[in-house]
Amino acid sequence: MTTVRDVREQAGSTPITMLTAYDATTAAVANEAGIDVVLVGDSMGNTDLGYDSTLKVTVDDVASRTAAVARGADDALVVADMPFLSFGVDETASIENCGRMVKEADADAVKLESGEHTVELTERLVQLGIPVMAHLGLTPQRMKETGYARQGTTRDEGHRILDLARKHEEAGAFCLVLEHVPSNLAEQVTEALTIPTIGIGAGPHCDGQVLVVDDVVGLSTYSPPFSKQYGDLREQMLEAVSAYREDVESGAFPAEEHGHVADELDDLY
Ligand code: KIV
Ligand code: NA
């Protein structure tokens, strides 16, 4: 069983491996492959739920998927990604929503897309026993404002991200995701913090890496340029499903061995 303490202590040693999963089967595969952290990302909006952003993902969506992932992943740390406006508006509601992920859905931690508005909340959640993974750089819940552009490209923005990273470490976050920022910024943030950084589109200097599983296994119709595809599952699924359809239409499936006969049912009329 991986704990947030294990992950925190991995800073600067073996790279931390994190992958998204949204169901028990995929979580079990990630777990068997030795992935350290399974993130139930709100990227499920783009992948499994078929939206064109993460904004419509609900607390119920993430809670139900987190419970499934927790049933599938025995060893990996399970992190529930808090959806748009489920935190940071009202403290009580934020704590209840985050608490649900741990109490009901068996998450080991929550991830919050971070900013000035999550510093105190992070501290409060950690005090209450809910571990927090912070997330800076590109935060897709702010896409109406930022689009999906690279973040932290100016000195001002770089200082802002470094400052927020320090504030979240001080507030008690056990880990920080850095998304789509220049690698030399990610490198300096990684050096400045004692908690581990996990990068996506943030270069090789972070303490770990995260990717969206659909991009890794080749299920996505669109993947960002910073991801890497290791499999071709969409093509394989298409072949399998098409072959099944053709077999049914041609009568090749089901064959004798796919069914059974009860002798006493002969001559019913
Ligand atoms: O939702 C997600 O998959 C994420 C990762 C890309 C960090 O937030
Ligand atoms: Na996310």
pLDDT in tens, 172-191: 999 999 999 999 999 999 99
ipTM given for this complex: 0.99
Task: State residue 11's pLDDT score.
Answer: 84
Q: Decide: 186 and 199 in contact? Cβ < 8 Å.
A: yes
CA of 131 to the centre of ligand 1 (A): 17
Closest ligand, as measured to the CA of 20: 1
Domain assignment of residue 269, yes or no: no
- pLDDT digits (tens), the chain, 269 positions: 899 999 999 988 899 999 999 999 999 999 999 999 999 999 999 999 999 999 999 999 999 999 999 999 999 999 999 999 999 999 999 999 999 999 999 999 999 999 999 999 999 999 999 999 999 999 999 999 999 999 999 999 999 999 999 999 999 999 999 999 999 999 999 999 999 999 999 999 999 999 999 999 999 999 999 999 999 999 999 999 999 999 999 999 999 999 999 999 998 88
What is the number of the ligand 1 atom nearest to the C-alpha of 43? 1
Closest ligand, as measured to the CA of 133: 1
Sign of torsion over alpha carbons 163, 168, 171, 176: negative
Domain assignment of residue 96, yes or no: yes
**Nearest protein Cα to ligand 1, atom 4:** 41
**Nearest protein Cα to ligand 1, atom 5:** 41
CATH number at residue 190: 3.20.20.60
Domain assignment of residue 75, yes or no: yes
Domain count, the chain: 1
**Nearest protein Cα to ligand 1, atom 2:** 41
In angstroms, rounded to a whole number, what is the distance separating the alpha carbons of residues 80 and 92? 18
Domain assignment of residue 263, yes or no: no
DSSP secondary structure code for residue 82 in this structure: P
**Nearest protein Cα to ligand 1, atom 1:** 41
Which of 39, 177, 180 to mutate for ligand 1's pocket (most ligand atoms within 8 Å of CB)? Answer: 39
User: Catalytic pick from 91, 104, 145, 179?
Assistant: 179
In angstroms, rounded to a whole number, what is the distance separating the alpha carbons of residues 189 and 200? 14
Task: State residue 209's pLDDT score.
Answer: 98
CA of 227 to the centre of ligand 1 (A): 12
Domain assignment of residue 102, yes or no: yes
Whole-angstrom Cα Rg for the chain: 22
DSSP secondary structure code for residue 117 in this structure: G
134: Cβ below 6 Å to ligand 1? no
Q: Is residue 228 a known part of a binding site?
A: no
Q: Give every CB contact of residue 200 below 8 A, 6+ residues apart in sequence.
A: 177, 178, 179, 180, 209, 210, 211, 226, 227
Domain assignment of residue 249, yes or no: no
In angstroms, rounded to a whole number, what is the distance separating the alpha carbons of residues 151 and 146? 9
Q: Is residue 113 a known part of a binding site?
A: yes
Domain assignment of residue 252, yes or no: no
Does the pTM surpass 0.90? The reply is yes
Q: Is 179 a catalytic residue?
A: yes
User: How confident is the model over 134-177, as pLDDT tens digits?
Assistant: 999 999 999 999 999 999 999 999 999 999 999 999 999 999 99
Alpha helices in the chain (DSSP H): 4-9, 24-32, 59-72, 91-103, 119-128, 143-146, 155-171, 183-192, 213-217, 233-250
Segments forming the whole domain that contains residue 39: 4-231
In angstroms, rounded to a whole number, what is the distance separating the alpha carbons of residues 52 and 214? 15
Contacts made by residues 57-62, CB under 8 angstroms, sequence distance 24+:
57/83, 57/84, 58/83, 58/86, 59/83, 59/86, 59/97, 59/100, 62/86, 62/101, 62/105
210: Cβ below 6 Å to ligand 1? yes
Domain assignment of residue 209, yes or no: yes
Closest ligand, as measured to the CA of 38: 1
Q: Is residue 103 a known part of a binding site?
A: no
In angstroms, rounded to a whole number, what is the distance separating the alpha carbons of residues 139 and 172? 20
